[in-house]
Amino acid sequence: MRQDGKKRSLFGKKGNAILDTIIFIIVFVVIALSWVTSGMLSKSITEDIEKNPDMFSNRSMEIIKTNDERYPILFDNLFVFAFGLFWILVLVASYNIETLPIFFVVSLILLIFVFIFAAVMTNMWEEVMEAEEYAEIIAEMPKMDFIMSHLLQVSIMVGFSILFILYAKGRQ
């Protein structure tokens, strides 16, 4: 809350649900791509280390292999956890914003453009993940792949839940 008593959106000006939804989508596309890429890099490094067993002790090799096996499971579950927490954060921030009901129609129209953006991001995700390099690691991260492959549906849920929270609350 600002000093003048007006509440602001999580990422910008008062009542900016559309921007919150776009930032939500961008953040999770970047997180997903970076975690899949780092998982691929981790596998590559582990394979290179296994080719040269003289460099490390047996115990070190076991730890490296264990960490490489745990990486996809950990970051797949962490992605779902972060997704849920961020969604809750955006909903709480939306609840604390004072909005006028007249802007519901405008928000609904602008949300259509957000859904188009989400569809483009979903198509981009599908194209990138079709590459051979990503096939092995993305197969080990089914939750992340499901959310990102259905980003349009997920963004519809997020967007309408934000609109619902923004405009369905009683006036204070």
List pLDDT tens digits, range 49-97: 888 877 778 888 888 888 888 988 999 999 999 999 999 988 888 888 8
Determine the distance from the C-alpha atom of residue 43 to the mean position of all C-alpha atoms in its chain, rounded to a whole number.
23
Look at residue 153 and tell me if it is in a domain: yes
pLDDT at 21: 78
Look at residue 84 and tell me if it is in a domain: yes
Range of the domain at 35: 17-167
- In sign, the C-alpha dihedral spanning 112, 157, 23, 38 is negative
Entry pTM: 0.80
Q: What percent of the chain has pLDDT over 90?
A: 32
Look at residue 8 and tell me if it is in a domain: no
Tokens found for residue 163:
């609109």
Average pLDDT on 2-12 reads 52
Instruction: Please check the confidence at residue 15 and state whether its pLDDT lies above 60.
Output: no
Task: Give how far Cα 86 sits from Cα of 4, 38, 90, 93, Å.
Answer: 27, 22, 6, 10
DSSP SS3 for 155: helix
pLDDT at 144: 93
Q: Are 79 and 31 in contact (CB under 8 A)?
A: yes
Look at residue 130 and tell me if it is in a domain: yes
Helices vs. strands in the chain: H and E counts, helices first = 6, 0
Look at residue 95 and tell me if it is in a domain: yes
Give 110-153 pLDDT, tens digit per residue: 889 999 999 999 999 999 888 888 888 888 999 999 999 999 99
Look at residue 4 and tell me if it is in a domain: no
Residue 53 is classified by DSSP as: G
Look at residue 11 and tell me if it is in a domain: no
Look at residue 2 and tell me if it is in a domain: no
pLDDT at 16: 64
User: How far does the chain reach from its first CA to its final CA, in angstroms?
Assistant: 16
Residue 55 is classified by DSSP as: G
Tally of structural domains, the chain: 1
Q: How far is the C-alpha of 42 from the C-alpha of 125, rounded, in Å?
A: 20
Q: How far is the C-alpha of 107 from the C-alpha of 9, rounded, in Å?
A: 14
